C-alpha cells in the first residue's frame, strides 16, 4: 500500500478519502493495487495523471472503487449488526452492558461539564479556550448522537441506503 499514491488519489476520488478516514486497511490496499494495475505504473504522480486524463481508465477505476466501497460498507454494516445482536443477547440473558453505560454517562458528563464551563466562565476565559471547549463539547455531543443511533437504529434515509447497499452487494456477489 502506497500512502503517497492514496493521498494523491484522495483529491480526485471521494471514496479514497472515505477509506483513508476510516483507516480501512484492506480497502486501502485494494485501491492502491487496482490503481497500479489499471495504469501499470508504480509512480503516484503518473498514476494520478493517467487516471485524471484518460477517460476509459478513469471509468474502469471508478467502477472498481464502487465495488470496493460496497465491500467496505457491507463489512461496516455486518460489524454494526453483530454489535447490536450482542447487546440484544446480553439483555435477554439478564446482563447489562456496563461498558456502553459508562461510555454514554462519560460522554453526557463531558458535554455537561463543557457547557457549564462555557456558561459560568466564558467571560473570564480567553477566546482560544472558549473555541477549544466548544470543540470538545461538539465531540461529546457527537458521541451521544452515535450512542443513540446505535441504540435506537438508523434514520429512515439511512435504512433505505442500507437496503440499497445490501441489494448492490447481492448483485455484486452474484456477478462474481
Q: What is the pLDDT of residues 72-128, one digit of tens each?
A: 887 777 766 677 677 777 778 787 778 888 999 999 999 999 999 999 988 888 989
Rounded to 5 degrees, φ, ψ at 136 are -65, -40
C-alpha span between 4 and 19 (Å, rounded): 14
Least Cα distance to 21 among 8, 7, 32, 35 occurs for: 7
Confidence of residue 131 (pLDDT cuts 50, 70, 90): very high
What cell was used for 88?
A: 440484544
d(CA 71, CA 107): 31
Predicted local distance difference test score (pLDDT) of residue 4: 87
pLDDT-derived band at 154, boundaries 50, 70, 90: low
Q: How far is CA 63 from the centre of its chain?
A: 20
The percent of residues above 90 in pLDDT, for the chain, comes to 28
At residue 88, the pLDDT reads 75
Nearest in space to 76 (alpha carbons), one of 115, 23, 123: 23
What pLDDT is stored for residue 141 in this prediction? 94
Neighbours of 33 (CB within 10 A): 13
Reported as a pLDDT band with limits 50, 70 and 90, residue 161 is low
pLDDT value of position 170? 66
Chain mean pLDDT for the chain: 83
Contact call for residues 53 and 44 (beta carbons, < 8 A): no
Q: What stretches of 10-128 adopt beta strand conformation (E)?
A: none
For residues 147 and 137, what is the distance between their CA atoms, to the nearest angstrom? 15
Least confident of 6-20, 29-43, 71-85: 71-85
The alpha carbon torsion through 73, 79, 80, 86 (nearest 10 deg) reads: 170
- Work out the average pLDDT over 132-157: 84
Amino acid at each position: 500500500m502506497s500512502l503517497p499514491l492514496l493521498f494523491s488519489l484522495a483529491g480526485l476520488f471521494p471514496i479514497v478519502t472515505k477509506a483513508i478516514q476510516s483507516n480501512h486497511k484492506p480497502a486501502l490496499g485494494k485501491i492502491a493495487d487496482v490503481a497500479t494495475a489499471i495504469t501499470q505504473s508504480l509512480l503516484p504522480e503518473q498514476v494520478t495523471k493517467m487516471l485524471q486524463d484518460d477517460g476509459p481508465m478513469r471509468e474502469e477505476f471508478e467502477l472498481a472503487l464502487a465495488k470496493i466501497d460496497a465491500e467496505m460498507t457491507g463489512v461496516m454494516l455486518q460489524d454494526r449488526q453483530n454489535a447490536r445482536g450482542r447487546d440484544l443477547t446480553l439483555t435477554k440473558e439478564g446482563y447489562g452492558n456496563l461498558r456502553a453505560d459508562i461510555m454514554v454517562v462519560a460522554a453526557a458528563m463531558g458535554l455537561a461539564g463543557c457547557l457549564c464551563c462555557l456558561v459560568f466562565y466564558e467571560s473570564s476565559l480567553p477566546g482560544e479556550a472558549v473555541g477549544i471547549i466548544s470543540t470538545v463539547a461538539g465531540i461529546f455531543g457527537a458521541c451521544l448522537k452515535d450512542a443513540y443511533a446505535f441504540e435506537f437504529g438508523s434514520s429512515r434515509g439511512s435504512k433505505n441506503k442500507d437496503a440499497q447497499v445490501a441489494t448492490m452487494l447481492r448483485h455484486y456477489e452474484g456477478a462474481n
